Amino acid sequence: MVIPHQVDTSIRGRMGDVRKAFEAGAFLSAISMALTLPDICGDRLYPGSSSSERYSKWFDKYVAPSYVGPRPDGPDAWDIRGADVGPTSYFTSYFSGDDCYQLRCVYLHEGVNAPHVERNKTPFNVIQFRIFDEMPAGCDGIEKMQGNLEPDGFLKIDLDLRKFLDNLEAGIDRFLNEHPEMNDDRGSDSFLYQPVLDFRSGIAREI
């Protein structure tokens, strides 16, 4: 009898798969898997909440604090401030749970990275990831482009993919340090509920 290898479907195991995809250059797969992790974590922490609510709430608590900066849709976000005004303190995140959820929806279901801004859930017309050999300082950026595309301008945010994965993994670590029992994979005690069974030679074992 051949016993297949059980793939690690815990939250940490899934994050590990994201890293493997990134390192292999399978960036589209890495993004797809990464965008599902707040779904899984949010479902375990906030059961009974709607998909959008639990996703955004979990992301805002554990990941968004890594993106501290002015919101591009804030009232003073695009003001040119004089030297006598001084710096302004911001306690917001320039990439929030709502932003990430809207990206998740269009990326996974439509294969695009242009959220539906008409739903008033995110100000970004485009959310784009960038990949560098090493993470440069200030690698994230928000650009407002004027033109005929949008009457109020066209907002584009660029996010370093490596930094996004680092921030996501750090958020998952904080989450699981607080709730270690929530890392468990679901259905691991039954082959019936495993999403993948690995029968490859050298991986499976015979008994």
Residue-level pLDDT at 30: 98
Q: Which residue has the higher pLDDT, 24 or 206?
A: 24
Domain ranges of the chain: 7-73+86-185
Q: Which residue has the higher pLDDT, 152 or 118?
A: 118
Sheet holding 126-130, edge to edge: 126-130, 154-160, 141-145
pLDDT grade, residue 70 (50/70/90)?
A: confident
Residue-level pLDDT at 79: 46
Residue 88 has pLDDT above 60, yes or no: no
Q: Are 161 and 130 in contact (CB under 8 A)?
A: yes
Q: Which residue has the higher pLDDT, 29 or 197?
A: 29
Query: What is the torsional sign of CA 28, 29, 31, 35?
Result: positive
What integer is the mean pLDDT of 33-56?
96
Residue 34 has pLDDT above 70, yes or no: yes
Question: Terminal CA-to-CA distance of the chain, rounded, Å?
Answer: 6
For 124-156, what is each residue's pLDDT tens digit?
999 999 999 876 666 898 888 765 555 567 899
Say what percent of the chain tops pLDDT 70: 78
Angle at 23 between CA 17 and CA 28, to 5 degrees: 70
| Distance, CA of 176 to CA of 88 (rounded, Å) | 34
Both tokens of residue 66?
């890594």
